[in-house]
Amino acid sequence: MKEIIGKLLNLAGFIFGLFTSSTFAAETLATPDLDEVVVTASRTSQSTKTVTGDITVIDSEEINRLRGGSIADLLRLQPGVETYTNGGMGTSSNIGLRGTNDNQLIVLVDGVRINSGTTGTTAFENIPLALIDRIEILRGPASSLYGSDAIGGVIQIFTKRGKSNNTHLYASAGAGSYDSYSGNAGFDTAFQALKFGAQVSSYDTRGISAKKRPPAVAEQDRDGYNNFSGTAYADLEFAPGHSLGLNYLESKGRNQYDSNFIGNYLERYQQGYGLTLRNALTDNWNSKVQYSIGRDQSYSVGTARTNSNIETEQHQLSWQHDYKLSNGTLTFAYDRLEQEVLTQSTGRLTLDRSRSNDAFVIGYVGKFDAHSTQLSLREDHNSQFGNYTTGGVGYGYAFSPAWLFTTQYGSSFRAPTFNQLYAVAFGNPDLLSEKADNIEASLRYQGQQLQTKITVFDNHIRNFIQNAPRADCPPGFTNGCAVNAGKIEIQGMTLESSLALAENWFLSGNLTVQSPRVDATDNLLIRRAQRFGNLVLQYRNGAWDWSTELTAASQRYNDTSNQISLGGYALLNTTLAYQVNHNWRLQARANNILDKNYVLATTRSLVSPNNPDYNTMGTNVFVSLSYDMK
């Protein structure tokens, strides 16, 4: 870590020296207002200029630029985010932040938690970009705000909804390679004090074979995918400062996969709805009560025509009070989470479990001249694993209107998932909860034409849970198991920057350098690159908008012993859009222009080294036409 910090200080010194001579003089003339408001960093509305954590905001413009792609394609372009899939469109999209697992991440949609209770992961592949208006990514531990699972961070997705009382209609349709077709339509409107809207999205593709060079005849086919999703909302302001809101999400996706039998498929269904009551009790005291229900169901037909059905239901209640003080906001909250899971396999009940978690949270966000602070403390009581106390403390100092230094510490924990505890022939009921401590620091510059941020982090995870081969399992396991692998240390650095090169030209990019290793063996965690990043060049002129992206990652390993390697890769993508008129937009996107043959995951192992890799898409194009009656 000393070496990483040394490199950071050298780089920060270089940038500081580079801009001191010219930039500080310019600051006295004009500094742009690039301020944004986020809620994920502290559970309250907060300016990004005072956030001490590492947060990224993805706006609707960036989302629209990837029309026809997936949410995994979008998240892959963000600093510190790694993704991999087990095949083409519709297969499992695994998302990790700063070298952590995909189940060490909390995902919220309009405040509703949608992580599966059985796997702890989220079916990102079934959340279409067409439904999303904005995404906030909080990297780093957040258990002191959100509870179990937030070791790597939090991703909060905000679906589309009207921003005014005017009626708003929009729709789009597109087609592309691999016989892919999509369509979506929606509306927003208002009637007196009531605002409401809804949208639907559909996607269908014949896809690609899930595996490269499949050995069985039954696997030598294209594995298709289809998805139908929708959202709806209603907000009623029944008195000034008092409102009642309802939001709903439903998504159903079905994808085929390779096996020794033809016609195998996995069908995943997820549903989330929440009711939110907001009350401005006084000028300085706001209350919010939210009750939500999240459901997910997974039904698969596999080898020898066996089938399995997994259902998870989560009930969530949150009661939060925010008090505005002269120099900040004080927050008190009570959270309750109830989880139930039912698993069946070919008509046989294999798992029926439930648990609950109660928590109390206190937080503070403050601003004192050039100083900003953030404090949080949370006490969780889990019905299975007892009490956990987590905390976070952050501090920021603005050297000038453009320069900001922040540092933050946070602790976190994750209770094992139902699958890790009880899955047939795999679950280990003796697992301990994961615990982690993270410290980080960042240096940010926000100037007239250049914005840059460098962040270093060091995350220590204890009782890390991973899948182990039979040889590393307790007696009685025949096909592997979940085990506590001991201590993990993830050290790293992210660098992100954007620059206005010249009139109409913009350059942005990010680089992550990390070392996620098991202390006992010094091996890297599986499917983690030590270096990855993105570079985006964009040109805008009148009705034309063109951009190209370069995405690259270094070598990774597919096994815990680091003997099955996955080669590094670089991909080139581009988007060209033309605003036909005020309402119509035509857009074309090409992915993997150089037709790179690369691998994100494999079925190879030390026992079966000749097994096939999971497939990835070659050069592909998607063209869309959208209408927006603003």
Q: Write a three-state SS string for 262-310.
A: CCCEEEEEEEEEEEEEEEECCCCEEEEEEEEEEEEEEEEECHHHCEEEE
Alpha-carbon distance 276 to 316, whole Å? 12
- Note the pLDDT tens digit of each residue in 440-460: 999 999 988 999 999 999 999
* Residue 498 in tokens: 């954007």
Q: Is there a contact between 601 and 85 (Cβ–Cβ < 8 Å)?
A: yes
Going by pLDDT thresholds of 50, 70 and 90, the confidence category of residue 202 is very high
| CB neighbourhood size of 107 (10 A) | 21
Strands 54-58 and 242-256: unpaired
Backbone angles phi, psi at 59, to 5 degrees: -90, 175
Mean pLDDT of the region 94-114: 92
Start-to-end CA span in the chain (Å): 51
Residue 70 has pLDDT above 80, yes or no: yes
Residue 629 CB contacts under 8 Å (≥ 6 apart), including other chains:
167, 168, 169, 170, 583
- Note the pLDDT tens digit of each residue in 481-520: 889 988 999 999 999 999 999 889 999 999 999 999 999 8
Q: Name the nearest CA neighbour of 413 among 67, 207, 118, 148.
A: 148
| CB neighbourhood size of 18 (10 A) | 13
Residue 369 CB contacts under 8 Å (≥ 6 apart), including other chains:
none
DSSP assignment of 316-357: EEEEEEEEEETTEEEEEEEEEEEEEEEEEETTEEEEEEEEEE
If one compares 56 and 164, the residue with the highest pLDDT of the two is: 56
Q: Is there a contact between 80 and 139 (Cβ–Cβ < 8 Å)?
A: yes
- Note the pLDDT tens digit of each residue in 561-570: 999 999 999 9
Comparing 104-113, 282-291, 421-430, which segment has the lowest mean pLDDT? 421-430
Distance of CA 150 to the CA centre of its chain: 11
Alpha-carbon distance 296 to 314, whole Å? 9
Predicted confidence at residue 68, as pLDDT, reads: 76
Residue 360 has pLDDT above 60, yes or no: yes
Going by pLDDT thresholds of 50, 70 and 90, the confidence category of residue 537 is very high
Exposed e or buried b for every residue in 179-207, given b needs 16+ CB within 10 A? ebebbbbbebebeeeebbbbbbbbbbbbb
Q: What is the mean pLDDT of the chain?
A: 88
Q: Is there a contact between 159 and 135 (Cβ–Cβ < 8 Å)?
A: no
Predicted confidence at residue 346, as pLDDT, reads: 63
Amino acid at 587: Q
Alpha-carbon distance 90 to 343, whole Å? 22
Residue 13 has pLDDT above 80, yes or no: no
Residue 411 CB contacts under 8 Å (≥ 6 apart), including other chains:
141, 143, 144, 390, 391, 392, 435, 436, 437, 438
Residue 26 has pLDDT above 70, yes or no: no
* Residue 337 in tokens: 């989470």
All structural domains of the chain? 2-175+194-629 (2.40.170.20)
Predicted confidence at residue 606, as pLDDT, reads: 85
In DSSP terms, 572 is beta-bridged to 550
Alpha-carbon distance 281 to 300, whole Å? 49
Q: Is there a contact between 124 and 72 (Cβ–Cβ < 8 Å)?
A: yes
Predicted confidence at residue 31, as pLDDT, reads: 34
Going by pLDDT thresholds of 50, 70 and 90, the confidence category of residue 324 is very high
Which residue in this structure is represented by tokens 């080139």? 572
Residue 468 has pLDDT above 50, yes or no: yes
Residue 345's Cβ-count burial label (10 Å; 0-12, 13-18, 19+) is: middle
Predicted confidence at residue 21, as pLDDT, reads: 36
Predicted confidence at residue 149, as pLDDT, reads: 93
Mean pLDDT of the region 285-306: 83
Alpha-carbon distance 149 to 413, whole Å? 6
Instruction: Say what percent of the chain tops pLDDT 70.
Output: 90
Mean pLDDT of the region 187-196: 94
